[in-house]
Structure 1
Amino acid sequence: MSLSRRALLAAVPAVAVAGCAAQSPLRVAVVWSGAELRRFLRVVDAYMARYQRPVSVYSAGDNISALLRGPAQDVIPDVAVIPRLGLLFDPVVRPRVRPMTGGHAQPEFWRRLVTPYGSREELGAWFKIAHKSLVWHRAGEQEPPADLAAWQPPRGGLAIGAADGWVLSDWFENVLLAYAPEVYGGLFPPAEQGNPAWWGVAKVTEALTLLATLWREAFTRDQGRRALTMQFHDSVLDVFTYRTADLLAAPDFALPVIELYGGRGIAAHFRFPAHGDNPAPLVVGGDVAVAMKRGGQDALTFVNWLTRPRALGEHDALTEWVGEGGFLTPYSVPSHPLLRGPSADLTGAANRHYDLSDRLIGRLEGGDGRGLWRVLTELFTDVTAGTTAPATAAQAARDKIVADAGESGR
């Protein structure tokens, strides 16, 4: 998962193994840019060295959905590493995916997520997973709140990169899962299309009101306006470099940025608070490697190699990536002490729920300025930079979601 997915579709120069020039490269589309993309290219270098097969990697950013759905077959990649599970079950994309064969066994929770309901065919393999229910702060300066309803960060104490819609959707998902786990689960029962009727229940409005109230109390109008222009990366700096805020709700992959700009040992985290007698929310996400049909057996070979569990003591570019933090897999225990607990949650906790916005397709599908992300951005704007009462803004947001869900189901 990238810190910013605003990159336009742009080719990254392929790295080819000498002696393979006559072979057409395996085309791999990813969403990452910057440091994450450079890390991935090092992993791919090892594949090319072993299989003597040239590979061309390019970043499609947020355009990866349009790329995989596009009518032009010649631009569809051989392999895609996708950040949103909903794309896997998109009615246009799914028929273009080659089901996995000849690979390793995936942990049951993660295997079910990539397996169509009523089928035994796995459509992809997990490359990277993420814990999205962490609240970061400077070590020794915060105590975890006892309950979500009682949690109120001091005004100016919360950093939110509201210019990135996924940041706001992570907030909403944690609040909804904490407040009404039966609603969260009902939206996506064991069927990939989900049950949008759950959006209409009163508890969605109540969860949105709880979230809107928390946001309203945490920001002045000027701070709300500033947050709307701030990306995720900048919100990390507000807590750990500039110290103008105290708390940051962010996934595990915030850690490398925290330590790059704040230093090692500066950070601590606690779990997003529970509500009442409900369990603490645990929202998870991840990137799935998918072989497209056009890629043939070479695409399957690449995906199986890329996502395979590493043997105990094996060292390569991927284990180095895991070792530096900000990269979790279903098969490895990170060496960084701040990530061992989150990693154990991802691989063993019973109450895991996949990122809701990353499962949505149709009019609610995420993307900056679109779908659920747009609705939540408008909610944040109304209650922080504007003067709308939280309950009124929450009702308006719920109405927009219900309308978009209804359009998606037609």
Structure 2
Amino acid sequence: MSMSRRAFLAAIPAVTVAGCSGQAPLRVAVVWSGEELRRFLRVVDAYAARQRRPVSVYSAGDNISALLRGPAEDVIPDVAVIPRLGLLFDPVVRPRIRPRSGGHEQPEFWRRLVTPYDSEEELGAWFKIANKSLVWHRAGEQWSPASLTHWQPGPGSLAIGAADGWVLSDWFENVLLAYAPEVYTGLYPPAERGSQAWWGVARVTEALTLLATIWREAFTQEQGRRALTMQFHDSILDVFSYRTADVVAAPDFALPVIERYGGGDVARHFPFPGLDGGDAPLVVGGDVAVAMRGGGQDALDFVNWLTRPRASGERDALTDWVDEGGFLTPYSAPSHPLLRMPAQMLDKAESRHYDLSDRLIGRLEGGDGRGLWRVLTELFTDVTAGTVAPATAAAAAREKIVEAAAA
């Protein structure tokens, strides 16, 4: 039996309703859970108290894409904070977004990302950004391979939460950007005819083969099977709590997990290695706040308030979040020493590239069990839990990607 859109929305737990007013609450959909969600609620509480406007926040998780595309517009939220940029340009979702007006000016690199090629209208504003090209290890230990081709992790040295497809796609994007930056750049924008043809070039297969080789060397079959059941947070614990692995490739927002379970000053990191003297890759991501048309001006006002730069000396729940780690913004430098360098890297316009899988729509769109994430999960399975040779598994993965891109 199919579920109605109203029933679908009702099944998503509303996390809180803040504020006190006779007005209907402003409905805000996010993808976070756990500590990130609790932090966000503290930020929203300040808005509700100041504006005397109730705000209902609910976590839609990966279902947020289905929610924004749904046929029943009465269940579409007033505001959405989304991690996948491609949703802004989805042919169903884009007409439902109220273009941004008023508010603050965004840095040019980030502004262009939320601006369609056929328009100068900004579709959203950046609430949170992320450096996705970091490799973490325990303090006091020496790590930093000279290049990707020299990175030969022994079995058990690498932790990967392969149950989360985005973890595997971050690996692929860093390797592809280091190995073939011209291919990475050519794959986007899809609005340009022929951009999908880049998936079929030999350099993609070569990058996938290099990636599969690193994975094969880092896991026994038993370790590979375990990694496939491990989520992102668990892979952090493997390095900093259980100490059963040595390094983990993870974005800056791994820091709160490290310090909660491993303690303070236990971690160090280095940039994801480049290729034989080439530039280190810099993959960036982030969460964009958008106002939906059904939310009216109130939704747009909330987006502009939420994403605004804080004045010098201003203190609130968001600046506390920035200072304590796990949150980067285009406007505020973090005070945590381990995040200063990752934040500074995000200012380098000449080398940063936005997360490729978060831009994709159609059959390659991310989501566990779907699109590029599924292809990479199957690649990881073949070369770690299975016995397929890296080159063979890489060629098969490339063919699946080409087929999906063509469709």
What's the TM-score once normalised by structure 2's chain length?
A: 0.96
Task: Give the Cα–Cα distance (whole angstroms) in 1 for the partners of residues 193 and 24 of structure 2.
Answer: 37
1:105 alignment counterpart: 105
Aligned residues: 398
| Residue in structure 1 matched with residue 359 of structure 2 by the alignment | 359
The 5-angstrom pairing of residues 241-320 of structure 1 reads 241-320=241-320
State the match for 2:169 in structure 1.
Answer: 169
SS in 1 for 2:346: helix
Aligned residue runs from structure 1 range 220-231, under 5 A: 220-231=220-231
Cα deviation digits, residues 378-403 of structure 1 (max 9, x gap)? 00000001110000000000000000
Deviation at 1:49, TM superposition (A): 1.3
- SS of structure 1 residue aligned to 2:369: coil
User: Contact 2:77–2:295 at 8 Å: present in 1 too?
Assistant: yes
Q: Distance in 2 between matches of 1:70 and 1:143?
A: 47
What is the SS of the residue equivalent to 1:58? strand
Q: Which AA in structure 2 matches 1:177? A: L
Tell me the CA shift for residue 279 of structure 1. Answer: 1.2
- Give, in whole Å, the separation in 1 of the partners of 2:303 and 2:108: 19
The structural deviation recorded for 1:308 is 0.1
* SS of residue in 2 equivalent to 1:280: coil
Aligned to 1:234: 234
Give, in angstroms, the shift of residue 194 of structure 1.
Answer: 8.4
Structure 2 residue 115 is matched with structure 1 residue 115 = yes
- The amino acid that maps onto 1:59 is S
How many angstroms apart in 2 are the aligned matches of 1:284 and 1:13?
28
Provide closer, same or farther for how the CA distance between residues 352 and 207 of structure 1 changes in structure 2, counting only shifts above 3 A.
same
CA contact (8 A) 1:130 1:284 kept: yes
Runs (5+) with no aligned partner, structure 1: 1-7
Q: Deviation string for 1:9-62 (max 9, x for gaps)?
A: 5222443423x1x21111000001111111111101110111111111100000
Instruction: Tell me, yes or no, if structure 1 residue 11 matches structure 2 residue 13.
Output: yes
Contact 2:17 2:25 in 1 (8 A): no
Per-residue deviation, residues 136-169 of structure 1 (Å, max 9, x unmatched) = 0001212311111111112210000001100000
Identify the residue that residue 84 of structure 2 maps to in structure 1. Answer: 84
Letter in 1 for 2:147: D
Is the contact between residue 145 and residue 151 of structure 1 (CA under 8 Å) also seen in structure 2?
yes
| Identical amino acids, percent of aligned pairs | 80
Indicate the residue corresponding to 1:153 in structure 2.
153
Residue 340 of structure 2 is matched in structure 1 by: 340
- 1:189, distance to aligned residue in structure 2 (A): 3.8
Q: Secondary structure at the match of 1:359?
A: coil
Which residue pairs with 2:4 in the alignment? none
Question: Which digits, 9 at most, give the CA deviation of each residue in 1:216-260, with x for residues without a partner?
Answer: 011111111110111111110100011000000000000000000
Name the CA distance, whole Å, in 2 between partners of 1:104 and 1:251.
Answer: 27
Measure the CA separation in 1 of the matches of 2:334 and 2:193.
Answer: 34
Q: Which residue of 2 aligns with 1:397?
A: 397
Report how far residue 193 of structure 1 moved.
8.8
Give, in whole Å, the separation in 2 of the partners of 1:70 and 1:145: 46
Contact 2:78/2:293 (8 A) holds in 1: yes
| Match status 1:67 vs 2:67 | yes
Describe the shift of the 1:9–1:283 C-alpha distance in structure 2 as closer, same or farther (beyond 3 A). Answer: farther
Q: Tell me, yes or no, if the aligned pair for 1:116 and 1:192 is still in contact at 8 Å.
A: no
User: Would the aligned equivalents of 1:156 and 1:223 in 2 still touch at CA under 8 Å?
Assistant: yes
Q: What's the TM-score once normalised by structure 1's chain length?
A: 0.95
In the alignment, the residues of structure 1 paired with residue 131 and residue 157 of structure 2 have an alpha-carbon distance, to the nearest angstrom, of 23
Describe the superposition over 1:45-87 as per-residue Cα deviations: whole angstroms up to 9, x where unpaired.
Answer: 1101111111111000000000000001110000000010000
| Runs (5+) with no aligned partner, structure 2 | 1-9
Counterparts in 2 of 1:223 and 1:70: CA distance versus 1, 3 Å: same
Runs of 4+ in 1 over 4 A off after TM superposition: 190-194
Separation of aligned partners in 1, 2:113 and 2:249 = 25
Question: Is the contact between residue 9 and residue 63 of structure 1 (CA under 8 Å) also seen in structure 2?
Answer: no
Distance (Å, rounded) in 2 between the aligned partners of 1:347 and 1:329: 11
